């Protein structure tokens, strides 16, 4: 059956776009006064012409934010070797090695690196370069801290589990060695292949072995303790925390070895970040005197400081709770 796409009964996206819509001038004002986006880009995002934005901005006295000085301008104010030092320092954050690669003497590189990091112009250039780097890579301090928190709070059982099930004799007849059906048939075939009397084949505890069953407390072989086995989890179905903890796998003579990042190291980094160590609580840049607070007061204070990142607050609160339980 033919249909008429031009029929008035058909509401195409184009016809929907013809409907009038309200203009969010509050959002436009925010973008105009706080971002570096052009009026054309702002207008395109909000469905209004750049001319209309300019007219309203002039009428209401909107002001554009000051343009930030680009990294190249910051570097241009430095001497050539200082510029090279900033570029090399961004590679590994090692002042001594950066000074050497920038052309300073290896004998005085450590001292020169320290002195350069005391210069306001160099520090500003590094700060600007680091900010630009974070914008390019989308890696911020919060991103790194969340990854550390994921490692610290991950459950290693998501990667490897030790499961204890019944032993071979738990449910065998007379608590004798129990086989699976496949094992029984295979053993019987080998017995017959050797030309032995079928009637003399020892079925022992019969068939039906299932390692997933719980241990039998009456088993004389294992005493109810069962038999442990290692189970490796499918890495395609891991939680974000387990992914952060996972450091790879290696095939060894004994089997597959699962590698993990150190939870203890991650916990130590987080503990320092929230000021749990006494030496960190007494640092000059700690205006909160955390060492004089109770754990509850410290958690409340840290939460108030990190309100801008609710996910991070929740993670750190969980860390505090874990430490309190231990």
Indicate the pLDDT class of residue 11, thresholds 50, 70 and 90: very low
Asked if residue 125 lies in contact with residue 78, where contact means CB atoms within 8 angstroms, the answer is yes
Burial pattern 168-177, b for ≥16 Cβ within 10 A else e, equals bbbbbeebeb
Does residue 256 or residue 92 have the better pLDDT?
A: 256
Per-residue confidence band for 93, with pLDDT thresholds at 50, 70 and 90: confident
Tell whether the model's pLDDT for residue 164 goes beyond 90: yes
Q: What pTM did the predictor assign?
A: 0.49
Q: Is there a contact between 41 and 31 (Cβ–Cβ < 8 Å)? A: no
Give the whole-number percent of the chain exceeding pLDDT 90: 44
- Report the pLDDT value the prediction gives residue 65, as an integer from 0 to 100: 79
- Domain 71-139 adopts which CATH fold? Arc Repressor Mutant, subunit A (1.10.10)
Note the pLDDT tens digit of each residue in 50-75. Answer: 899 999 999 999 888 776 666 566 66
pLDDT digits 0-9 by tens, 96-135: 999 999 999 999 999 999 999 998 888 888 888 887 777 7
How high is the pLDDT of residue 208?
95
pLDDT score recorded for residue 187? 96
Which is nearest to 163 in space by CA: 110, 212, 221? 212
Model confidence over 136-158: pLDDT tens digits?
Answer: 776 777 788 888 889 999 999 99
Give the closest residue to 8 by CA, choosing from 18, 237, 104.
18
State the virtual CA torsion across 145, 151, 152, 154 in degrees, nearest 10.
130
Residues 250-258: what's their mean pLDDT?
A: 92
Residue 32 has pLDDT above 90, yes or no: no
Q: Cα(292)–Cα(250) distance, rounded to whole angstroms?
A: 47
Instruction: Look up tokens 């203009």; give the residue.
Output: 23
Q: What is the pLDDT of residue 21?
A: 57
- Give yes or no for residue 257 having a pLDDT over 80: yes
Tell me the two tokens of residue 229.
């086995």
Q: What is the pLDDT of residues 267-285, one digit of tens each?
A: 888 887 777 765 544 444 4
Average pLDDT over residues 161-174: 96
Least reliable range by pLDDT among 12-26, 65-79, 256-270: 12-26
Residues 65, 30 contacting (CB under 8 angstroms): no
- The 10s digit of each residue's pLDDT in 182-204 is 999 999 999 999 999 999 999 99
Q: Is the pLDDT of residue 165 over 60?
A: yes
Q: What was the pLDDT predicted at 189?
A: 95
Q: Are strands 256-260 and 246-251 parallel, antiparallel or unpaired?
A: antiparallel
CA distance 260 to 253: 19
pLDDT of 2 > 60? The answer is no
Percent of the chain past pLDDT 70, that is, above it, reads 74
| pLDDT, averaged across the chain | 81
């Amino acid at each position: 059956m033919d249909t008429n796409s031009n029929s008035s009964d058909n509401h195409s996206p184009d016809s929907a776009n013809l409907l009038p819509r309200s203009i969010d001038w509050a959002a436009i004002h925010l973008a105009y006064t706080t971002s570096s986006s052009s009026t054309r880009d702002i207008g395109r995002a909000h469905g209004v012409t750049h001319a209309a934005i300019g007219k309203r901005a002039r009428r209401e006295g909107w002001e554009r934010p000051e343009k930030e000085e680009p990294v190249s301008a910051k570097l241009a104010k430095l001497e050539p070797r200082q510029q090279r030092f900033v570029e090399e320092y961004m590679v590994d954050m090692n002042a001594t090695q950066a000074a050497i690669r920038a052309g300073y003497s290896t004998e005085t590189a450590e001292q020169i690196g320290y002195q350069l990091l005391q210069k306001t112009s160099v520090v500003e250039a590094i700060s600007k370069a680091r900010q630009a780097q974070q914008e390019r890579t989308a890696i911020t301090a919060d991103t790194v801290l969340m990854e550390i928190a994921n490692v610290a709070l991950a459950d290693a059982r998501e990667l490897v589990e030790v499961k204890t099930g019944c032993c071979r004799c738990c449910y065998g007849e007379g608590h004798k060695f129990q086989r699976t059906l496949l094992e029984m048939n295979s053993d019987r075939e080998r017995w017959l292949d050797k030309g032995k009397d079928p009637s003399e084949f020892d079925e022992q505890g019969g068939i039906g072995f299932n390692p997933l069953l719980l241990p039998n407390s009456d088993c004389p072989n294992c005493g109810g303790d069962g038999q442990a086995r290692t189970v490796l989890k499918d890495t395609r179905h891991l939680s974000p925390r387990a992914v952060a903890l996972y450091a790879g796998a290696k095939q060894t003579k004994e089997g597959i070895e699962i590698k993990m990042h150190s939870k203890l190291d991650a916990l130590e980094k987080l503990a320092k970040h929230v000021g749990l160590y006494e030496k960190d609580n007494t640092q000059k840049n700690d205006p909160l005197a955390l060492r004089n607070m109770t754990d509850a007061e410290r958690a409340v204070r840290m939460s108030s400081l990190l309100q801008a990142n609710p996910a991070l607050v929740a993670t750190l609160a969980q860390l505090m709770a874990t430490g309190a339980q231990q």
